[in-house]
Amino acid sequence: MKKNDIKLSFDNSCSFNNYVDSCIGTGRMGLALFKEYQDQLKLCQKEIGFKYIRGHGLFCDDMAIYQERDMTRFGGEVTIDYNFTYLDLVFDFYLSINLKPYLELGFMPYKMASGEQTIFYWKGNTTPPKDYDAWKKLIQVTLRHLIDRYGRDEVITWPVEVWNEPNLPGFWENADMEEYFKLFEVSFNAVKEVDKDFKVGGPAVCGGSDRKWIKAFLEFCKGKNLEPDVITRHHYATELPEYTGHYGYAKLMDPMNEEDGFPGLHSTREIIDSFPEFKGKDIHITEFNTSYIPICPLHDTNQNAAYIANQLSKLGDDNKLYSYWTFGDCFEEMGVPYSLFHGGFGLVTYGNIPKPTFWTFAFFKYLKDNYKTCIQKDDTSIVVIDNENTVKGVCYNVTLERSGNDFINSYEINVKDGNYVLLTKRVDEEVCNPLKVWHDLGENRILKKEDIELIKSASYPQVSTKVISAVDGKVSFDIELKENAMVYFELRKVSVISDTGYDYNRVMQYK
């Protein structure tokens, strides 16, 4: 097997901004009322622990905020009412698990909408407001309610983003740029009027026309003397999917072969910095993933996990926040999931089975604990040291298609002589591949509890330890990486002499 020789020293240093836990994506906000959604999100918070959560649907009708109550049939009147019963349940829940909302303003309440266009199975209205004053009031009443309930000091830490992907006609009628800028201006001012310390961002565009839109957006802001606090955009990394049966199959883009730096995002930084007024403004990737459709089986694979690992090592180079789309398969954009695995975006499935990519996030979170400095970073691994001189790393064998390309990362590190324990947590197609177990068991779509438990038992990393010795100031070890494997490792100095004299070698009859 091929060997990559990697020599490390504590004196090395390379750039690594690790915002792995900065934000996570979610399905429509109304789903947050579901017990199943809450269970899936709780697992993510327990094992990973994100800071913000962002998704669509704050103002959609299932959240029931904007209400026109018609009592005319009973001799009464039509009154406008703002109902926060559901919103409070959702945000109480988020805060109870240490998540803060990243507020996306949208979509349009049916009774406030100028048109009938909707998006998704769940029918979010994506037309401009028929009355911008009503829209402004909706924003302000909502923010003031939140401040009343959760306190101003808390609520102003919640970023505000205006709408979602207006550069796609499905998300914004005709992808009408001028209309979006109007929406942005009204919304921006509405928020700042409530409290100027809110951070407001846009234009929340997806790839394709991103450069054009971002440039135009900044021109508009400059012209209007608006200063957005953050520039937001999305990033997906596959070619167009090929649809067959219920699914779309998508080919990954090559992360090592990008014109403007992986993962094709550096141009945004450059555009912003070309405006003296906005130079250095924070960029938030408010959505990213491999494929952008929730019926792409790639999401369920070890291949996805390894590919995302590579992304996580680099996304912090230009961006201050990036939000994987999405935490769980409790999601409805293309309908309600009908089988356990179905190509959904989630890090976890229905029934709370973690997919391989779940562990990508967990492993990068481990790198943050006591983070001191990064000493190695390439397309197969990233290695850091923590405050107590423990070495930690994540390795990955990223493939674009099956090729039999297994390899070994062979590390040599300059350390003090003595004994070390090498701890590894392995996620690969053999030892942590719930998709395969589900497949082998017959791809049953009915989720019986015992099936779920069985598959879950095959969805955790394989944990191993090994004692190795450093002599002459060097310690060496190999991490084998089959295709699509991802491995976390940790090297700790350890004294293997028990203070109670447990004689392990005697017990094990190792002479």
Site for its own copies in 16-35 (CB under 8 A): 33-35
Give me the least distance between CB of 239 and its own copies, in Å please: 15
E strand residue ranges, 216-365: 230-236, 242-244, 247-249, 282-289, 321-324
Are 399 and 306 within 8 A, CB to CB? yes
Q: Which residue in 165, 173, 287, 480 is the catalytic one?
A: 165
Residue 401 in the binding site for its own copies (CB under 8 A): yes
In whole angstroms, the minimum distance from the beta carbon of 63 to its own copies comes to: 9
Q: Which among 341, 364, 337, 367 is positioned nearest to 354, based on CA atoms? A: 341
471 binds its own copies (CB under 8 A): no
Nearest-CA neighbor of 430 among 306, 297, 302?
302
**Exactly one of 36, 378, 412, 451 binds its own copies (CB under 8 A); which one?**
36
Q: By CB under 8 A, tell whether 141 contacts its own copies.
A: no
Question: Would you count residue 416 as binding its own copies (CB under 8 A)?
Answer: no
Q: Which stretch binds its own copies (CB under 8 A): 154-162, 171-179, 244-252, 310-318?
A: 244-252
Q: CB nearer to its own copies: give 9 or 79.
A: 79
Compare residues 84 and 102 and give the one whose CB is closer to its own copies: 84
Going by C-alpha positions, the residue among 18, 56, 24, 17 that lies closest to residue 42 is: 24
Biggest CA-to-CA distance, the chain: 94
- Contact in structure between 467 and 494 (CB atoms under 8 Å): yes
Asked if residue 84 has a cis previous peptide bond (ω within 30° of 0), the answer is no
Residue 93 or 275 having the CB closest to its own copies:
93
Q: Does 10 bind its own copies (CB under 8 A)?
A: no
- Of the residues 86, 110, 275, 278, which one makes contact with its own copies according to CB under 8 A: 86
CB-count burial class (<10 Å; 0-12, 13-18, 19+) for 152: middle
Map residue 231 onto helix, strand or coil.
strand
430 binds its own copies (CB under 8 A): yes
Binding to its own copies in span 159-218, by CB under 8 A: none
What is the footprint of its own copies within residues 477-496 (CB under 8 A)? Answer: 492, 494-496
CA angle 109, 114, 118 (to 5 degrees): 60
Decide whether 339 or 410 has the Cβ nearer to its own copies.
339
Among 201, 297, 356, 393, binds its own copies (CB under 8 A): 297
- The Cα-based distances of 502 to 423, 493, 505 in angstroms read 21, 19, 9
Q: Residues 15, 46, 78, 85: which binds its own copies (CB under 8 A)?
A: 85
Q: Based on the residue annotation, tell me whether 165 is a catalytic residue of this protein.
A: yes
DSSP bridge partners of 169: none
Burial 353-388 (b: 16+ CB within 10 A, else e): bbbbbbbbbbbbbbbeeeeeebbbbeebbbbbbbee
The least CB distance from residue 402 to its own copies, in Å, is 4
Comparison of 274 and 464: residue with beta carbon closer to its own copies: 464
Applying CB under 8 A, the site for its own copies has a residue count of 94
Q: Could you tell me whether strands 100-101 and 78-82 are parallel, antiparallel, or unpaired per DSSP bridges?
A: unpaired
76: its two tokens: 């009464």
Q: Is 64 in the site for its own copies (CB under 8 A)?
A: yes
Closest approach, Cβ 138 to its own copies, in A, equals: 15
Q: Between 35 and 196, whose beta carbon lies closer to its own copies?
A: 35
Quick check: 83 binds its own copies (CB under 8 A)?
A: yes
Mapped onto helix, strand or coil, the DSSP state of residue 298 is helix
Among 350, 361, 366, 488, binds its own copies (CB under 8 A): 350
Catalytic residues: 165
